[in-house]
């Protein structure tokens, strides 16, 4: 009911008329409407489905079909056929739909729940979706020697606003940053250009890892965002040489830090300007030199490319802010794990693209329920916890001479949300709405 209420408030079913490629039928009087397919995937994913066969089993849920006004859900063969038939145009329209929903949810939510310190944060990343077998279109051997697909994603606030699945890079990293071919950030410039309206007009910040540190990507990022930071560890030779020649007096006061391996390191920070290949002008880099405190003699260096900004007055602040990228990476892991998007269902690349986009839309719907309706103390909850609260609600069925009544018990922390939902959204539903109107 919660998902139904949210998608009705958004107007999803009416909006589908603007996406004709999602209904590839030549005869509109036969088969299922696009609304039925979309409902099957969205309610499947938000009900814990992990495969097409799980989604097919929703046809056994007569209450859900009555709530949605659907006579029958498609079986897994029809679901797979629809994913393949919508083609590249359908994938493009799903990306537009996800962007439109994300924009609506960002405007609808309290800014305090979707921004960090008043700043709307974005994150670009690529993950390798490993597959088993040679039948997956576009799958190639990645750097780790595993057969995989590449899923490139752009996040704005808590929402995944754009994603494209393709082949991972089939070559080693080039020796200079201006030469980049089919690498894992190939769609970054296009995604930034097409989604720019989501963060324009508000303070914004982008995080990205070293896969997006080639010169042409730094240029695109610099043009699109007011603040940004990108890990830079692929073409560090000239930077290390230049940093080693900086005057000793220009380095910050030494500090002791616990390093990733648990050892204690002496660290110092500095600024450095350098123009990577592929950039039209020099970029600002925050530099950290470090060495073990147990007597290591030579310095080692870390670099983060960034944009000069009055809020980042010291290079140490850049490193501290960039470490927040780890929270964005955990959100990506949450999507893949909690929605179980580790297993592409089809041989066709376009079908897998559509499947993962539908999973991303379902994830965004659950996030919207959280950021729009739930109080502040519930914002840190994972999607799996959200699904647990939505799905595992105790219900008691009471039969009377004149009818049947379902009494459900909402968690105490969600009580106000459920009251508002029943009051504002439930009357819009078909049969249940009439009952709610009678009972008040």
Q: Residue 436's pLDDT band (boundaries 50, 70, 90)? A: very low
Residue-wise pLDDT for 51-88, tens only, equals 899 899 888 888 788 888 889 999 999 999 999 999 99
Q: Output the six-digit token pair for 313.
A: 């007055």
Tens of pLDDT, residue by residue over 387-406, are 877 766 667 777 887 787 77
Among 192-206, 252-266, 381-395, the range with the most confident prediction by mean pLDDT is 192-206
Q: What's residue 435's pLDDT?
A: 45
Give residue-wise pLDDT tens across range 330-362: 888 888 888 889 889 999 999 999 999 999 999
pLDDT for 279-326, tens place per residue?
A: 999 999 999 999 999 888 999 999 999 998 777 789 999 999 999 999
Q: Give residue limits of the domains in the chain.
A: 2-85+352-439, 115-236+294-344
How much is the pLDDT for 183? 59
DSSP code of 174?
P
More confident: 223 or 127? 223
pLDDT at site 430: 46
46-51 CB contacts, 8 Å cutoff, 24+ apart: 46/3, 46/362, 46/365, 46/366, 46/387, 46/390, 47/387, 47/391, 48/387, 48/391, 50/340, 50/343, 51/76, 51/343, 51/345
The rounded percent of the chain whose pLDDT value lies above 70 is 90
**Residue 39 pLDDT level (bands cut at 50, 70, 90):** very high
pTM: 0.86
The pLDDT value given to residue 184: 63
- pLDDT value at position 11? 93
Mean predicted lDDT score pLDDT of the chain: 86
Q: What is the pLDDT of residue 172?
A: 46
* C-alpha–C-alpha distance, residues 207 and 229, integer Å: 5
**pLDDT of 12-36, one tens digit each?**
999 999 999 999 998 888 889 999 9
**Contact assessment for residue 336 and residue 345, using Cβ atoms and an 8 Å cutoff:** no
pLDDT tens digits, one per residue of 95-136: 999 999 999 999 999 999 999 989 999 999 988 888 887 788
Structure confidence at residue 294 (pLDDT)? 87
């Amino acid at each position: 009911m919660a998902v139904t209420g949210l998608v009705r408030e958004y107007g999803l079913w009416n909006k589908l008329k603007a996406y004709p490629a999602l209904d590839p039928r030549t005869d509109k009087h036969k088969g299922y409407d696009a609304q039925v397919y979309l409902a099957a995937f969205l309610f499947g994913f938000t009900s814990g489905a992990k495969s097409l066969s799980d989604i097919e089993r929703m046809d056994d849920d007569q209450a859900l079909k009555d709530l949605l006004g659907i006579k029958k859900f498609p079986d897994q063969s029809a679901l797979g056929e629809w994913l393949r038939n919508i083609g590249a145009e359908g994938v493009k329209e799903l990306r537009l739909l996800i962007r439109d929903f994300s924009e609506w949810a960002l405007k609808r939510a309290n800014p305090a729940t979707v921004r960090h310190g008043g700043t709307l944060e974005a994150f670009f990343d690529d993950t390798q979706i490993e597959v088993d077998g040679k039948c997956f279109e576009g799958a190639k051997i990645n750097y780790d020697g595993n057969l995989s697909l590449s899923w490139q994603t752009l996040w704005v606030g808590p929402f995944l606003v754009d994603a494209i699945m393709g082949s991972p890079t089939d070559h080693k990293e080039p020796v200079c940053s201006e030469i980049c071919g089919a690498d894992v950030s190939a769609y970054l410039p296009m995604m930034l250009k097409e989604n720019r309206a989501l963060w324009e007009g508000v303070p914004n910040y982008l995080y990205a890892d070293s896969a997006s540190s080639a010169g042409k990507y730094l240029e695109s990022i610099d043009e699109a965002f007011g603040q940004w930071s990108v890990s830079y560890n692929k073409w560090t030779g000239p930077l290390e040489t230049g940093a080693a020649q900086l005057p000793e007096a220009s380095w910050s006061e030494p500090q002791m830090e616990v390093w990733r391996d648990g050892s204690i390191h002496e660290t110092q920070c500095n600024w450095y300007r350098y123009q990577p290949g592929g950039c039209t002008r020099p970029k600002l880099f925050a530099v950290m030199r470090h060495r073990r405190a147990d007597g290591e003699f030579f310095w080692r260096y870390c670099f983060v490319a960034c944009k000069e900004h009055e809020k980042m007055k010291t290079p140490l602040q850049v490193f501290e802010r960039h470490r927040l990228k780890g929270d964005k990476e955990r959100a990506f892991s949450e999507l893949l794990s909690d929605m179980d998007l580790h297993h592409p269902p089809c041989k066709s690349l376009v079908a897998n693209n559509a499947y993962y986009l539908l999973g991303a839309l379902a994830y965004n719907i659950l996030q919207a329920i959280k950021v729009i309706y739930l109080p502040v103390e519930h914002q840190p909850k994972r999607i799996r916890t959200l699904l647990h609260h939505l799905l595992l609600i105790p219900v008691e069925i009471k039969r009377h001479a004149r009818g049947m009544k379902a009494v459900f018990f909402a968690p105490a922390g969600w009580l106000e949300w459920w009251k508002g939902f029943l009051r504002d959204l439930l009357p819009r539903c078909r049969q249940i709405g009439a009952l709610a109107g009678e009972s008040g």
